[in-house]
Structure 1
């Protein structure tokens, strides 16, 4: 049986250019290519969870423009329930402006557009959909008041609640931590949340310990090529990353979150879910783009390190 995952989050059209390196302030560079790709952290995680074995519903808002229609169509093509993806009259769809360099690193600027209309009132009208979930996922590309509302409601409903705190620039509201089962930051996000420099397994362990003291249930710090650090109140464990040759790291974190959630919803153990998410993320960085890079369940199952 498929576990049910509900994602409350962002839908963006990614406008992606490749360049030899990331531009410095005030500099103009000649790009090498340009594509438009369906993205947004919420939508990326929804696609990842769907391709990786879950039954998925998406809650979010787009504009009443061509990009909004394309994003909704892309989710429907993945078999995702889009009854709660709403077009906002007179608003633009969210966009992400992405530059990817020759070392596969990226820089991103986001314009919220329709994502700014995902309000607590919108979510309240969809409470029955949240009630159907095994796992609820949020990120930080929709209004913070809505994220807090969803986390609290997920806890009240007894669901497994995942927060991917991206993008993070500061500590989370103190009351949020008790509502989160799994907090999944990357290195820079863990640094922003704790004020501790995170660039290694040891420093990730220290940051995770600080987040656990704040009251969160469990922490997974994703460390790119260094793997992932899982910690709960009793212990911590490092999970080395699968070895691959990276092409584009866009959506690797989203792929991990979606894969981890799909595996949890199916009843896998935490360790199994982390390894499953890691393989999915590793496969995604071998391909370009956000949603186009996300692998399928069968590809992850057949992966040979």
Structure 2
């Protein structure tokens, strides 16, 4: 027998050892990931700035299919391309707010403060050679050189839940690259990171099917403990949306109001058929489109709105419905019950300080330049949070400037990937008036 030729037995031994190595990498990877998220004694993530904006919401992977036109019921159409993007209304809103916050330029930081490989395997490339593609994919490009990196903080924090999977890890690294504080993100070992199945037509119109995944398991036990409580109590603006359980948005707003009576809360209610009415007690700015506004008046106020009713009247009725709904709860009204209704390229309608105003869209995009409207509403919400932080006494100006920022997003594919940051926007947007 040729001594250099591997026998069947030796191949089995190698296969068995490779499996053990891969399992070892998985175990160490999970332990490192969990320890980093919990910031135990091995982690040295440091806070560089106060957290002014906290977003509580869903975190999804967007699987986007681009088609010539949206298919009819029962129809099959060819897709031009399938792409994967970072998504989720909450994650998108946090990303846009972070891009508008000014923070120092920093190299892309890694999540890993401690990542070990067995034997001579000291990198992802080594994992690929010795342990197989699955282990290399699992550990991504982390290495021992990534230990004890400093995470840049821009003043925005995300509170939510992801699965203990590759998508969840990718999101943490995505948030860190934007300087977003991630200590408020918990992990679910049983459910996968949320997923949105998005179909986009050539004109930018889209349909979305939402699989909540780990988002649905976000509960009070995740937001009523540190560090989430401190993030909420010390925030100046708290944003939430209806992609997570409704009682969680209510509880987050309650915690924020108890910690700081001057905090501003922004709530986006889609999908409106599952909104917890108690949110009316704590909301300063309810942000929705005209269709959602009509539905909320019907759901909360048990009132029908004639199709010819103008948007200004809908905004007034929605404000009154919020007041009446809040009065049904023991704590009563603790928010301002302002209303912002968006209408695409048409002027926004703002009900604030007991007056209704039309706010023209600061920038319109020609239809031939519209590529993908996915996430445009989230860009507006994240931008509004930023501008309300900077100019709390001028909601009309904040809405106007938010429309300008959101308009940039429809000219590119994707949601958060299509958003524009401060360095690429005109200086006048950031000047006080």
The interval holding the TM-score normalised by the smaller chain is: over 0.9
Listed as ranges, the matches of 1:206-285 within 5 Å are 206-213=313-320, 214-215=322-323, 217-232=337-352, 234-241=354-361, 242-245=363-366, 246-267=370-391, 269-285=394-410
Residue of structure 1 equivalent to 2:229: 127
> Post-superposition shift, 1:151?
2.3
Contact 1:46/1:57 (CA < 8 Å) preserved in 2?
yes
Contact 2:64/2:83 (CA < 8 Å) preserved in 1?
yes
> Post-superposition shift, 1:302?
4.9
Q: Matched residues in 1 for 2:62 and 2:252: separation?
A: 25
Answering whether residue 312 of structure 2 is matched by residue 190 of structure 1, we say no
> Post-superposition shift, 1:199?
8.5
> Post-superposition shift, 1:102?
1.5
> Post-superposition shift, 1:78?
0.4
> Post-superposition shift, 1:121?
1.7
Contact 2:285/2:337 (CA < 8 Å) preserved in 1?
yes
Question: Any idea what SS the aligned residue of 1:110 has?
Answer: strand
Q: Which has the higher contact order (CA 8 A, sep 6+)?
A: 1
Question: Any idea what SS the aligned residue of 1:283 has?
Answer: helix
> Post-superposition shift, 1:112?
0.4
TM-score of the superposition, structure 1-length normalised? 0.92
Residue of structure 2 equivalent to 1:178: 281
Q: Matched residues in 1 for 2:413 and 2:88: separation?
A: 15
1:75 to 1:197, Cα distance in 2 relative to 1, 3 A:
farther
Q: Matched residues in 2 for 1:64 and 1:173: separation?
A: 28
Q: Matched residues in 2 for 1:199 and 1:67: separation?
A: 43
Question: Any idea what SS the aligned residue of 2:243 has?
Answer: coil
Q: Which region of structure 1 is more displaced relative to structure 2, 267-276 or 230-239?
A: 267-276
Which of structures 1 and 2 has the bigger CA Rg? 2
Q: Matched residues in 1 for 2:424 and 2:280: separation?
A: 34
Contact 1:227/1:239 (CA < 8 Å) preserved in 2?
yes
Give unpaired runs (5+ residues) of structure 1. Answer: none
Contact 1:47/1:75 (CA < 8 Å) preserved in 2?
yes
Q: Matched residues in 2 for 1:228 and 1:177: separation?
A: 21
> Post-superposition shift, 1:154?
2.5
Note the alpha carbon deviations across 1:233-285, whole angstroms, 9 max, x for none: 52111112222132211111111111111111123521221122111111111
Listed as ranges, the matches of 1:1-305 within 5 Å are 4-53=52-101, 55-125=155-225, 126-157=228-259, 158=261, 159-169=263-273, 172-195=275-298, 203-213=310-320, 214-215=322-323, 217-232=337-352, 234-241=354-361, 242-245=363-366, 246-267=370-391, 269-302=394-427
Question: Any idea what SS the aligned residue of 1:153 has?
Answer: helix
C-alpha RMSD of the superposition: 2.1
> Post-superposition shift, 1:301?
2.5
Note the alpha carbon deviations across 1:22-76, whole angstroms, 9 max, x for none: 1112211100111000000000000000001261000010011111111111111
1:58 to 1:3, Cα distance in 2 relative to 1, 3 A:
closer
Contact 1:61/1:85 (CA < 8 Å) preserved in 2?
yes
Q: Matched residues in 1 for 2:312 and 2:69: separation?
A: 32
Q: Matched residues in 2 for 1:266 and 1:284: separation?
A: 22
Q: Matched residues in 1 for 2:360 and 2:307: separation?
A: 15
Q: Which region of structure 1 is more displaced relative to structure 2, 130-139 or 184-193?
A: 184-193
Note the alpha carbon deviations across 1:148-182, whole angstroms, 9 max, x for none: 21222223232211101122226x44432121100
Give unpaired runs (5+ residues) of structure 2. Answer: 1-48, 102-153, 299-303, 324-335
Q: Matched residues in 2 for 1:26 and 1:99: separation?
A: 15
TM-score of the superposition, structure 2-length normalised? 0.66
